[in-house]
Amino acid sequence: MTKFSNKIAGFFGKNGIVDKKYENLCAIGCETIISEVISAVVLLALALACNMLIEGLVFFAAYAVIRSTAGGWHAKTKVRCNLLYTATFAAVLTVVKAAQYVNIENAYHIFVQAAICLWSVLILTSFAPALNKKVEFSDEYLKKSYRKMLFGIFAIIAVMIVMAISGSAVWLGVNYALSFALLINAVSVRIAKKSAKTSTAVVKKDDVKLTFKDVMSYIKGKKLDKAGLVCAGYMCCFLLLIGGGVTTMGCRWKYYEPEIPANLADFTREIRNA
């Protein structure tokens, strides 16, 4: 995966689409995309194997919405991250499937779901966001993340209420999936806050913030005249955004916190001045 990503980045550097000193950002972006695609395929296969595609997709979407704004605990390596993430997904599907076969009144299911959500919301609103310790975030950014998290929580609970009222065939599984999405995020945030270690931020978020417009201006500045290279330029733009973005988001969808490239701030300054 790493070798393939480096080859793609090397192609961009060789053809003058991006300076060779920034090939690493393209490689990070490419490796991230490949990793996420493989992970998505594995999770989709698990959901299909359990005949729980809807529940799996609902959990994945709800978890990602909260995780991307609330942050949380991180594993030390990508391998541990992927193993833990896959195991978490499989465990959620197993518990949701088991809950669907428990022969109790719906009122008890609703009570359990409400209890899970209440505890999770209290933890999230009290301790989130637990963001990347390598990046210094402005107060405005933190407030914005908090507001987005609250909106995500509100949306999840609103869906749960609608599903419970509708009484559809999948309401029970969907609502448990949404409940566990909140629960796992809450546990992750609480662990992150409890085990937080003081560290000096590497960069400020505003100094390494990349936008599509800025990167496209940088690519266009290379004056690519061939159609194939122009298309490659768009691809390079996308990879640069991913490569620079995932390392400074404060958190990704999973449990891994990538190292911030040493030349990311230099690249950001260069494209802003292009």
Alpha helices in 102-246, H assignment, sequence order: 106-127, 139-166, 171-194, 212-220, 227-245
Q: What pLDDT, on the 0 to 100 scale, is given for residue 78?
A: 79
CB 246 within 8 A of CB 252: yes
pLDDT, mean of residues 30-51: 89
pTM of the model: 0.85
CB 25 within 8 A of CB 267: yes
pLDDT one-digit tens code per residue, 209-259: 888 888 888 888 888 778 888 888 888 888 888 888 777 765 566 677 777
Q: What pLDDT, on the 0 to 100 scale, is given for residue 217?
A: 84
81 confidence band (pLDDT: 50, 70, 90): confident
Is 134 a residue whose pLDDT tops 80? no
pLDDT, mean of residues 188-202: 76
Cβ neighbours for 155, distance < 8 A, ≥ 6 positions apart: 65
Q: What pLDDT, on the 0 to 100 scale, is given for residue 186?
A: 96
> For the stretch 14-34, what's the b/e string if a residue is b when 16 or more beta carbons lie within 10 angstroms of its beta carbon?
ebebbeeebbbbbbbbbbbbe
Is 175 a residue whose pLDDT tops 90? yes
pLDDT one-digit tens code per residue, 150-163: 999 999 999 999 99
Is 22 a residue whose pLDDT tops 80? yes
